[in-house]
Structure 1
Amino acid sequence: MPLLSLYKRMMRKADLMERMIDTVDVRDALETRADHANVLRRAANRCMTCAEPDACQSWLAEHDHADEAPGYCRNHDMFERLKHDIEAERLTHA
């Protein structure tokens, strides 16, 4: 794969991942984790190996906000764990 094609693919998937993080509203939970750099790196690796970028882009185009990522999202479970962490912290401080 030519270098420019690889770069474009990486940028597209990085943009999709950023949008998904915001759409399912886990940015704060992700950025406040002590190990956020490692979590983000693993999430990026999963996204880069995803075979569904077109479906992801279409899904994101239809959702400004969502309670959860689509089932085919390779980061779905991570997003759900982050949402669980958000809820647990909210209950702790309630």
Structure 2
Amino acid sequence: MSGQNKYDEHAQLVEKMAETLGVDLTEEMMAGNWTPEDMQATVSRCLGCTDPAHCKGWLGENTAGADETPGYCRNKDLLEAMRTRLVSA
């Protein structure tokens, strides 16, 4: 897999994980709460994951949504904090 394809795969995983938690990253960007640099840093952390297939499986099992990410998610704290902020707003 080329470097760009791998980056794109992980960018999709980040977006799907956020969506599963009820966080719309595009809306967050439009509101000024999320920047392209934030996305790049988040995808970079995701790129360090050793088992993206497991993540894809978890996402497939949680299509109706979830209150938290799996414990192994490298972006767990960030995404859950975003979710908490949105839920309490």
TM (norm. structure 2) is 0.79
Instruction: Tell me if structure 1 keeps the 8 A contact 2:7–2:43.
Output: no
| Structure 2 equivalent of residue 62 of structure 1 | 61
**Percent of pairs with identical residues:** 30
Q: Which moved more, 1:8-17 or 1:28-37?
A: 28-37
Counterpart check, 1:51 vs 2:47: no
Report the count of equivalent residues. Answer: 86
- Structure 1 stretches of 4+ with a deviation exceeding 4 A read none
What is the SS of the residue equivalent to 2:73? coil
Output the CA distance in 2 between the equivalents of 1:60 and 1:9: 18
| Structure 2 equivalent of residue 30 of structure 1 | 28
What is the SS of the residue equivalent to 1:36? coil
Q: Rg: which structure is higher? A: 1
Q: CA deviation at 1:56?
A: 0.4
Q: CA deviation at 1:35?
A: 4.6
Q: Which moved more, 1:25-34 or 1:14-23?
A: 25-34
> Could you list the runs of 5+ residues in structure 2 that have no partner in the other structure?
none
Q: CA deviation at 1:53?
A: 0.5
